[in-house]
Amino acid sequence: METVLWDDTAAEPPPVAPALAESARCAVAVIGGGIAGLSAALHLAEDGVDCRLLEAGRIGAGASGRNNGQVIPGLKPGPDDLERRYGDDGAQVVETAAGAADLVFDLIERHAIACEPDRRGWLRAAHSSAALGSVEKLARQWQGRGAPVELLDRAGTAAALGSDFYIGGLIDRRAGRLQPLSYCRGLARAALAAGARLHEQSPVRALERHEGRWILTTDGGRLEAEAVILAVGAYGEALRPDWARRFMTVQSMQIASAPLSENLRGAVLPEVSAMSDSRKLANAIRLDAAGRIAISGRGPLNGRIDEAMRRQLRGAIARLFPALDGQVWTHAWPGRIAITLDELPRLSEAAPGLYGIVGFNGRGVAMATAFGRAAARHAQGRPAGFPLVAAPAVPLHRLRHLLVAAAVAYYRMRDAAGLASR
Ligand SMILES: Cc1cc2nc3c(=O)[nH]c(=O)nc-3n(C[C@H](O)[C@H](O)[C@H](O)COP(=O)(O)OP(=O)(O)OC[C@H]3O[C@@H](n4cnc5c(N)ncnc54)[C@H](O)[C@@H]3O)c2cc1C
């Protein structure tokens, strides 16, 4: 059975409305109560737009309430690579990506969101000399733009992590961590206060265009809107199969320990808020406010909690922090990640007035916040900080389960051989 650490330690749920049970109208409807949808609703409401958000389960039910809580600015490619990729839009893409963690921590401060924010930086640790080359390239690109990113040698990495397992790394001081479900709940509270209407337990069963407006049908209600923001991540593939063909879903798994003793707590990640390593199938590690350690990694393909995966994650901690071998692990839970072949997220006008957000490739806490704001602005026809980009269908999408299984095997081999990835 899954036990999600964040469910047990989150701030009070916001007073969100129950299931939609009426026929209503609004200017913009948001589908999905994860970080992307909540940020969209908050920014729409702050701009005075009449909006409603429909969430299938409860706020933060998807990846947003299940992740490792690392707030990392930027996209996987560095800023120089992003400028090349986005051409004329490159400068605004880099600005938005670079400022994504600032946006999160500003929202936390402005709306007094109680989500255990900790902003001492994120360490990307290199697992091989080839990987160190790509870590150095990324650091130099950000340093060239004045970002507070430092390169670390082996000793510096060991001091910052409390582990001598890696050969070097970078620290991005713009980054940090938070309690992800509390962050979602805080965004929801702020959106409500700004005038958005939010409904839980309201899965949208159909989304159709009729006479220039969008009609959303739920089990007990109907919502008519001029524009729609589709922010269902990897949790709503059935709603628009045409949209779901534009990304693939991979499974992740996470475990968390009981609070560590004072001694151990001080020895783990003493100088940073969080870390992840440079392998393609990376592990991400952080402590929470009570000193529990949480580690995420690639999950079983069937998305269930699996003893072999649990062992793998416990083994990863024991290799990095031998003093933690034998800890009591109290929580284990899965989560889904939407990936794209070029590792870039999509913000697309999938049909007239239908703005889709997807594909953060495991880096959505900061960027989904930024994309939600950008979608809110696009829906108003305003400059958005990120362009609408095409989202082509993934080739051979119907074979995606086989492709993902093959890719996991391939990357496991590359990671073991020390090859570089972004
Ligand atoms: C284990 C794990 C660890 C991660 N760690 C990190 C990390 O440390 N840092 C980081 O930056 N990123 C991390 N990520 C990625 C990050 O969590 C995601 O990129 C981000 O949460 C995506 O947000 P979202 O709003 O797009 O989607 P989601 O949070 O998945 O939200 C989609 C919502 O849509 C709802 N929905 C679906 N269908 C419908 C429908 N028909 N009607 C109404 N509602 C619907 C779902 O119930 C869900 O609540 C991690 C992900 C996982 C799974």
Q: What is the per-residue pLDDT across 197-217, written as a single tens digit (0 to 9) for each?
A: 999 999 999 999 999 999 999
Q: Is 62 in the pocket of ligand 1 (CB under 6 A)?
A: yes
Q: Which of 52, 64, 123 to probe ligand 1 with, by most ligand atoms within 8 A of CB?
A: 64
> What type of residue sits at position 31?
I
User: What residues pair up with 3 in beta bridges, in sequence order?
Assistant: 332
- Report phi then psi at 266, rounded to 5: -70, -20
Question: Which one of 58, 235, 251, 269 would you pick to mutate in the ligand 1 pocket, going by the greatest count of ligand atoms within 8 A of its CB?
Answer: 235
Q: Where are the alpha helices (DSSP H) in 73-201?
A: 79-86, 90-98, 100-110, 129-143, 154-161, 180-194
Question: Which numbered atom of ligand 1 lies nearest the CA of 234?
Answer: 30
184: Cβ contacts below 8 Å, ≥ 6 apart: 33, 34, 35, 38, 59, 60, 64, 65
- Return the residue matching tokens 């989202």: 391
Collapsed DSSP state (helix, strand, coil) of residue 222? strand
pLDDT of residue 396: 72
Q: Which residues of 242-273 are buried (b: 16+ CB within 10 A; e: fewer)?
A: ebbbbbbbbbbbbbbbebbeeebbebbbeebb
- Judge whether residue 220 has pLDDT over 90: yes
Instruction: Tell me the pLDDT band of 301, cut-offs 50, 70 and 90.
Output: confident
User: From the CB of 333, is ligand 1 less than 6 Å away?
Assistant: no
| Pocket of ligand 1 contains residue 359 by CB under 6 Å | no
pLDDT in tens, 36-95: 999 999 999 999 999 999 999 999 999 999 999 999 999 999 999 999 999 999 999 999
Question: Using CA atoms, how far apart are residues 232 and 260, in angstroms rounded to an integer?
Answer: 35
- Total-model pTM: 0.96
SS3 23: strand
Q: Is the CB of 254 under 6 A from ligand 1?
A: yes
Whether the per-residue pLDDT at 410 is higher than 70: the answer is no
Residue 415 pLDDT grade (very low, low, confident, very high; cuts 50, 70, 90) = confident
Q: What is the 3-state secondary structure (H, E, C) of 270-324?
A: CCCCEEEECCCCCCEEEECCCCCEEEEEECCCCCCCCHHHHHHHHHHHHHHCHHH
Ligand 1 centroid–CA 132 distance in Å is 30
Domain ranges (residues) in the chain: 5-402
pLDDT digits (tens, 9 = 90+) for 177-190: 999 999 999 999 99
Whole-number Å distance, alpha carbon 406 to ligand 1 midpoint, is 24
At residue 33, φ and ψ (nearest 5 deg) are -105, 45
Q: β-strand 197-199 against 51-54: which pairing, if any?
A: parallel
319 CA from centroid of ligand 1 (Å): 29
CA-CA-CA-CA torsion sign (252, 253, 259, 261): negative
Say which CATH architecture domain 5-402 belongs to: 3-Layer(bba) Sandwich (3.50)
Local confidence band at 292 (pLDDT 50, 70, 90 cut-offs) = very high
What are the residue ranges of helices labelled H in 32-78? 35-46
Q: Does residue 286 line the site of ligand 1, with CB under 6 A?
A: no
CA distance 22 to 26: 13
Apex 386 CA angle, 34 and 73, nearest 5: 65
CB-ligand 1 contact for 68 (6 Å cutoff):
yes
The set of residues, in sequence order, having a beta carbon less than 8 Å from that of 315 and lying 6+ positions away, is none
What is the number of the ligand 1 atom nearest to the C-alpha of 36?
A: 25
